[in-house]
Amino acid sequence: MATADTLALERAGRQRYGSIFLLTLAHLINDAYPNLYPVLIPSLMVILHFSVAQAGAITAVAALTTQLLQPFMGLWADRVGGSWFVTGGLALGAILSTAALGLAPTYPMLLLLILLSGIGNSAFHPHASGIVGEMTGRRKGLGMSMFLIGGNLGRGLAPLLASFAFLTWGRPGLMILSIPGLLLAFALYTYGRKIKTVGKPNSGGLLATLHANRGRLVSLLAIVGIRSMVASAVLTFLPIWWKLRYGHITHNAFMLSIMLLAGSLGNMAGGYLSDVIGVIPVIVGSSVLSALLVWLFLHSSGIWLWVSIGLLGAALFSTASVTMVLGQSIFPQHKGMASGLALGLGNTLGSAGVGLLGLYAQHLSVVNALYLLAPISLLAIPFVFSFTRRAAATSG
């Protein structure tokens, strides 16, 4: 016969898993919005009359708020708590992202709305990641990968949703895609009292922690920045390359979706393997595989074209949960800010690199820019060893 304590533990367990499931679903919807635009870039280039270099600039501009604000939003969330960061962020991103793609009359207005929509995205991520980090226990790699798989699925579904809405209802019909985000934001608001928010830590030791771990932080940002640059550049330039080569937006959408959905499996595998064999083999192996698979994709045809893009997606996104856990290991008392640093600032550096790569592609060619991603991917490896060496020195 179950005791009162046993029943209480079971209820707590169901509530914890229910909260993680709802946050994972919210992550799926939230991350779909910033990823609606890559598949639409070729069409928007014609409608709004902008160049390949300006297409690359969209990624860089989006990073200014979508990613760069995340550490500050995370620090704010750590201090004040409250699930409204998650709820309000999701609603704001849903409205402004779809308005940018569906209604913006000019390229500058498109950039402005994408910039503003990133505020919502940057508010959602650090606090949601911090909540999950508190709930996952010792299997943090696997637990965080389960949360992040929601984001990967959202990114994977985004091209299909964007192309379907665009081809079915026209450009203004993209506003319909705001409805799922608004409905889920309302569900989060209703359920919000049951979600255990991140606590309010004493911030007095934050500067000392930053100073003591500055070397590890620099290495982590370099790892995330390089990995993010390669992944973002693939998502930005492959649709342009594909349209030039094959010319059909539907196939373009399927290519991105295969890559991103395979990235969900890679993310889960990377999180699990990091708990079993450690961080170094996962990030080093992912970097090497990413370099090889970029080259393989550009030299493939037929069925192997689709196989290689799926494998590339799995390799590119296999380190997402690993780097998140690394960030939270540096700042265990400031998980929101740590998540914002790992996801936000590191990804901002990567997105800025995409902007520069867009200029390179404009003056040479898109395919040459894609080839350059293979050696860039390998640059993360030295920083992995630097991080672990500094971590050992700090613990010693």
The mean predicted confidence, pLDDT, of the chain is: 78
Q: Give the residue among 69, 102, 235 at the shortest CA–CA distance from 178.
A: 102
Give the pLDDT confidence of 35-69 residue by residue, as tens digits.
Answer: 888 888 888 988 998 887 788 788 777 767 777 77
Which residue's structure tokens are 């090889």? 292
Residue 7 has pLDDT above 80, yes or no: no
Residue 194 has pLDDT above 60, yes or no: no
Which residue's structure tokens are 């993310």? 267
Cβ atoms 314, 263 nearer than 8 A: yes
Q: Pick the range with the lowest mean pLDDT from 30-34, 106-110, 358-362.
A: 358-362
CA torsion sign, 115 to 116 to 119 to 125?
negative
Residue 8 has pLDDT above 50, yes or no: no
pLDDT of residue 175: 94
pLDDT of residue 332: 67
More confident residue, 322 or 88: 88
Residue 199 has pLDDT above 60, yes or no: no
pLDDT of residue 138: 58
pLDDT band at residue 273 using 50, 70 and 90 as cut-offs: confident
Give the pLDDT confidence of 72-82 residue by residue, as tens digits.
Answer: 776 776 666 65
Hey, where are the domains in the chain?
8-196+206-395
Which residues lie below 8 Å from residue 390, measured CB to CB, with a gap of 6+?
A: 215, 216, 219
Residue 102 has pLDDT above 70, yes or no: yes
More confident residue, 315 or 208: 315
Q: Please, is 199 exposed, middle or buried when counting C-beta atoms within 10 Å of its C-beta (0-12, 13-18, 19+)?
A: middle
Q: Which fold, 8-196+206-395?
A: Growth Hormone; Chain: A; (1.20.1250)
pLDDT of residue 210: 66
Angle at which helix 214-245 crosses helix 366-378, to 10 degrees, equals 150
pLDDT of residue 1: 46
Does pTM surpass 0.95?
no
pLDDT of residue 165: 93
Give the pLDDT confidence of 120-154 residue by residue, as tens digits.
Answer: 887 887 777 767 766 665 555 566 677 777 877 88
Distances from the Cα of 14 to the Cα of 85, 129, 148, 306, angstroms: 23, 19, 20, 39
Mapping DSSP onto H, E and C, the string for the chain reads CCCHHHHHHHHHHHHHHHHHHHHHHHHHHHHHHHHCHHHHHHHHHHHHCCCHHHHHHHHHHHHHHHCCCHHHHHHHHHHHCCCHHHHHHHHHHHHHHHHHHHHCCCHHHHHHHHHHHHHHHHHHHHHHHHHHHHHCCCCHHHHHHHHHHHHHHHHHHHHHHHHHHHHHHCHHHHHHHHHHHHHHHHHHHHHHHHCCCCCCCCHHHHHHHHHHCHHHHHHHHHHHHHHHHHHHHHHHHHHHHHHHHCCCHHHHHHHHHHHHHHHHHHHHHHHHHHHHCCHHHHHHHHHHHHHHHHHHHHCCCCHHHHHHHHHHHHHHCCCHHHHHHHHHHHCCCCHHHHHHHHHHHHHHHHHHHHHHHHHHHHHCCHHHHHHHHHHHHHCHHHHHHHHHHHHHHHHC
pLDDT band at residue 9 using 50, 70 and 90 as cut-offs: very low
